[in-house]
Amino acid sequence: MLSVLSGLGLGLSLIIAIGAQNVFVLRQGMRGEHVAAVVVICALSDALLIAAGVAGLGFLISSAPWLIVAARWAGALFLLAYGLLAARRAWRGGGQLRVDTVEGGARPRTADAGTGGRAGLASVVLTVLALTWLNPHVYLDTVLMLGSIAATHGEQRWLFAAGAIAASVLWFTALGFGARYLGRWLRTERSWRVLDALIAVVMIALAISLVLPVIAA
């Protein structure tokens, strides 16, 4: 259960950060356009990437146990840096999603928000696939980092992965289908600062928990 909760916490911390993918999911949710397809693609893509990271790095570490210690320190340093950056964003602010109120509901101010009309399913699918798979950070965060940290859980690494996958499913489902209710709250800078502060706390706490066993030994 601890491994599942660790994966859930880290997965949510990584996914919630402001990014093009989240903005697109929020936009589709507020516009009510192909929300189910967008949520399924995002969650399934994350699941595949997480599984690939856990499977690949798990095999390497099983053949070289010393990599576990290296993975702990590398993961802790990455989490600490990520947490400090989130803390900096929470302290300084500056990140917010601008939302315009238009006839028929609210929608985010994005590059194509003013074009009007309903986007076709093919266009939406291609866009969300590009935002997910062509983003270089997804391979660093989801494959490399989550895979590295999952490996430190040994036999329970797949439980950690299950927690991270559950976090992805929960977040994208809530973001996509709850967008009409979240839009007014998420448009404020203060809301994103609160989110960044929570992300910073989780990241730094996980970084400390990773290296405590090494230090104690």
**pLDDT reported for residue 118:** 65
**DSSP string spanning 4-63?**
HHHHHHHHHHHHHS--HHHHHHHHHHHHTSSHHHHHHHHHHHHHHHHHHHHHHHHHHHHH
**pLDDT reported for residue 171:** 92
**pLDDT reported for residue 136:** 65
Residue from 71, 50, 7, 29 nearest 142 by CA: 50
Give the Cα-Cα-Cα angle 107, 92, 73 (nearest 5 degrees).
Answer: 100
**pLDDT reported for residue 33:** 87
Helix, strand, or coil here: 96?
coil
Going residue by residue through the chain, which has 217 residues, state the pLDDT in tens, using 9 for 90 and above: 677 877 777 777 777 766 678 878 887 887 788 999 999 999 999 999 899 888 876 666 667 777 777 777 877 887 788 789 889 888 887 555 444 433 344 444 443 433 445 668 998 999 899 888 877 677 777 888 888 888 788 788 888 889 989 999 999 999 899 887 766 666 677 877 887 888 788 878 878 887 887 787 6
**pLDDT reported for residue 110:** 40
Eight-state DSSP code of residue 141 = I
